[in-house]
Amino acid sequence: MRIVSWNVNGLRAVHAKGFLPWLAGCGADVVCVQEIRARPEQLPPELVAPPGWFSALAPAERLGYSGVALYARRAPDALQVGLGEPEFDVEGRLQVARWGDVTVVNGYFPNGNGKERDNSRIPYKLAFYQAVFDHLKPAFDAGQAIVVLGDFNTAPEAIDLARPKDNEKTSGFTPIERAEVRRWLAAGWVDTFRHFHPDQTGAYSWWSQRFGVREKNIGWRIDLALASPGAMPFLRSAEIHHAVRGSDHCPILVTLDGRAPEKGAAPSPPP
């Protein structure tokens, strides 16, 4: 099961840059998309329901803002949209889909910047993190296989951005935001990319759109895939597809294998 996550920074914009050919050729079974910034009626039919794909869009109430979408090679056995909490659900930030024993969570975690880039939305952001954590906790505690993918809008550690010293007061790298990600990890969630690439530097998934920034790889790793302990026996790889263009983010990928190792056996090495 290959699961891709990509903040496309506008589904209409990325469509004009070749999203559907990328989708057809990406080899994914499930594609989680964030920041669609459109309602279904604003999109061409081939983007709302690409042939050969199950699709589900969860836009924000506010036009041109936020929203998530899910594309999959087969329909999920269950799909939940939102948390059931209006303060979050109006922004179209979450889908929870289940295929068999695997639950895939498509999340677009808020940015902490206010209208004046003053970090005033950090409390809202942290409340969303907490709400998602609490919502998943019963399944997590039951040992279910869960993978939470998306734009977390937080670089967990200094290794995850090019200029950590310059951004200690910037939303996405403030101590309180990083502490929240660490709280998830301390509770048992696993940062899948760091599981396979613990020391890799320069591994980023977002770059400012200022001229030359991406070419110089002055970026941040804020698109994450966190796995529950119940998913870890099936985890085979975690990648960042930094060469894919079309957005200020690039896609990330995790691969799961339904053949879990026998009890007591060592997990298979990544491919």
Mean pLDDT of 197-226: 98
Residue range 37-76, pLDDT digits in tens: 999 999 999 999 999 999 999 999 999 999 999 999 999 9
Q: What is the pLDDT of residue 198?
A: 98
- The neighbour count for residue 254, using CB atoms within 10 Å, is 27
Q: Which of 29, 118, 151, 248 is catalytic?
A: 151
Say if domain 2-256 classifies as CATH 3.40.50.970.
no
How confident is the model at residue 270, as a pLDDT?
33
The pLDDT score that the predictor gives to residue 261 is 42
Proportion of the chain above pLDDT 70, given as a percent: 95
DSSP collapsed to 3 states, the chain: CEEEEEECCCHHHHHHCCHHHHHHHCCCCEEEEECCCCCHHHCCHHHHCCCCCEEEEECCCCCCCCCEEEEECCCCCEEEECCCCHHHHCCCCEEEEEECCEEEEEEECCCCCCCCCCCCCHHHHHHHHHHHHHHHHHHHHCCCEEEEEEECCCCCCHHHECCCHHHCCCCCCCHHHHHHHHHHHHHCCEEHHHHHCCCCCCCCCEECCCCCCCCCCCEECCEEEEECCCCHHHEEEEEECCCCCCCCECCEEEEECCCCCCCCCCCCCCC
Say which residues have a Cβ less than 8 Å from residue 217's Cβ, sequence separation at least 6. Answer: 162, 202, 204, 207
Write down the domain spans for the chain.
2-256
Give residue 259's pLDDT: 59
- Please compute the mean of the pLDDT values over residues 167-194 and round it to a whole number: 98
pLDDT of 116 reads: 78
Is residue 160 annotated as a catalytic residue, yes or no? no
pLDDT tens digit string along 219-257?
999 999 999 999 999 999 999 999 999 999 999 999 999
Question: Given this model, what pLDDT does residue 262 score?
Answer: 42
* Average pLDDT across the chain, whole number: 94
**Whole-prediction pTM value?**
0.94
pLDDT above 90: residue 196: yes
- Mean pLDDT to the nearest integer, 205-227: 97
pLDDT digits (tens, 9 = 90+) for 71-123: 999 999 999 999 999 999 999 999 999 999 999 999 999 999 988 778 999 99
268: pLDDT strictly greater than 90: no
- Tell me: pLDDT of 194 over 70: yes
> Which residue type occupies 199?
D
